[in-house]
Chains A and B, each alone.
Chain A
């Protein structure tokens, strides 16, 4: 053992111990001083840890008071019913069961009830849309439903949220077929209703799966992004109207509508 090892271990915050270290310290006044200073700092920090912050007795020693645990038991007693069961499922299950309805919705609402000009719709575009949208939706739901590790701040998800906002709008300016290019703006409301109705079960599942009593802002934004993308994917496959106004009002606005809905849910949730 040499001084550099001692210094490195000290700097890393995990000082070495053992006979070798003791032998080294006995012959090295510099390292000995280093450890004495470490102990000094450690004592200060330990004093900080045990310092009496203004706490109640029950806070200081929970074994003395049963109220704190009693309150928790009451809270746990309320953890019954379908939502309690769903939100306590393992995260992988919650993720898969939130993604499965999206797949079903896209198949039932988009592929089985195809747009009138589906025969002219480029298959490469269908494949690309399915892949890109599903990756983005899966990412949004995975981040929404993941409990661990550390939850990143919302700004870390801005690229994903930007994608969810921009791609449906861009799709409005890039109609897939000639027929859709010349359509009028009518029918936006029915498309909006169709998309909202079919993605409603997914939204309900996301709400049920959320373990927080009051959804976090990142949950609100990512859920809305995933739902908006799901609705736009199924409408792209279902609706043959490529008029930009129609797409913006009837398709792309669904993401914002779900965002508004989630914010309302968040506001209504108990603090």
Chain B
């Protein structure tokens, strides 16, 4: 009997309330994307609404996360088609894993974990490494900005320096800066501790500054030779 109860508990999805109110989140999406409008709902509320069967909530999540995921994928992949395919797979896995999403959990690190797992799997399957993207011609060749302007040398150098970082450092920095994840969220997404990802990020910053030269020096060097206020007390 106990075993049967345990199985039932595991199999049946838990009742989920949205933002503690129990109300269904209303998301209005006009067809054809014209006049798109949606009341501001948190990602978690939208996810809960989607689990409850609201397909418009899924579309809103798609709209919110696609640009972020595309950037995260496109940075390491050679073609937009590959990046697009992985983004699509991320949402497909989000759909398949939706019943694993527990109330009180943050969606952003969860979705990025799925995306990163897929990206790693893609690289393993294709026997490629993140580091090989150093040879990517996009790094070496100057390319144009969104409005057709040539990117500055500094930005290109930054990108080059970023690509030269070890994958684990770059991943943390990119998730933090480009993905907009806080360090606790980054830690959750990469399956590590907050302290560990901060250390990785710090090493990445140091390496970036070392490679970028005088323009962006090591912060620790700024205080070198001068005791801090706390130390001088």
The complex places the Cα of A10 from the Cα of B205 at a distance, in Å, of 10
The answer to whether A148 and B100 touch across the interface, beta carbons within 8 angstroms, is yes
The complex places the Cα of A229 from the Cα of B205 at a distance, in Å, of 47
User: Which residues of A are found within 8 Å of B84, using beta-carbon distances?
Assistant: 59, 68
Kindly supply a per-residue 1/0 record for chain A positions 65-80, scoring 1 wherever the CB is within 8 Å of any chain B CB and 0 otherwise.
0101101100110010
From B91, B95, B125, B162, A48 is in contact (CB under 8 Å) with B162
Interface residues of B in 200-217 (CB under 8 A from A): 201-202, 205, 208-209, 212, 215-217
A52-B146 in contact given A10-B219, A89-B99, A96-B10 (Cβ < 8 Å): yes
The answer to whether A211 and B96 touch across the interface, beta carbons within 8 angstroms, is yes
A64-B33 in contact given A40-B215, A87-B96, A90-B10 (Cβ < 8 Å): yes
Answer whether residue A13 sits at the interface, using C-beta atoms and an 8 A cutoff. Answer: yes
User: Which residues of B are found within 8 Å of A214, using beta-carbon distances?
Assistant: 125
The complex places the Cα of A90 from the Cα of B33 at a distance, in Å, of 33
From B114, B124, B220, A147 is in contact (CB under 8 Å) with B114
- Interface of chain A, main secondary structure: helix
The answer to whether B63 and A92 touch across the interface, beta carbons within 8 angstroms, is no
User: Which residues of B are found within 8 Å of A53, using beta-carbon distances?
Assistant: 71, 74-75, 80, 138, 143
The answer to whether B228 and A72 touch across the interface, beta carbons within 8 angstroms, is no
The answer to whether A88 and B99 touch across the interface, beta carbons within 8 angstroms, is yes
User: Which residues of A are found within 8 Å of B116, using beta-carbon distances?
Assistant: 150
A45-B178 in contact given A55-B80, A89-B11 (Cβ < 8 Å): yes
The answer to whether A79 and B95 touch across the interface, beta carbons within 8 angstroms, is yes
Answer whether residue B226 sits at the interface, using C-beta atoms and an 8 A cutoff. Answer: yes
**10 A-B pairs with least C-beta separation:** A150-B191, A44-B158, A149-B191, A3-B228, A2-B229, A47-B155, A49-B178, A4-B228, A93-B10, A13-B201
Q: Can you name 12 extra interface pairs (CB under 8 A) apart from A12-B183, A41-B216?
A: A4-B228, A33-B222, A45-B177, A49-B178, A59-B84, A68-B88, A69-B62, A88-B95, A88-B98, A89-B11, A148-B113, A216-B121
**12 A-B contact pairs sorted by A residue (CB < 8 Å):** A3-B223, A44-B216, A47-B158, A53-B80, A54-B80, A59-B84, A60-B146, A66-B33, A68-B84, A147-B100, A148-B113, A211-B97
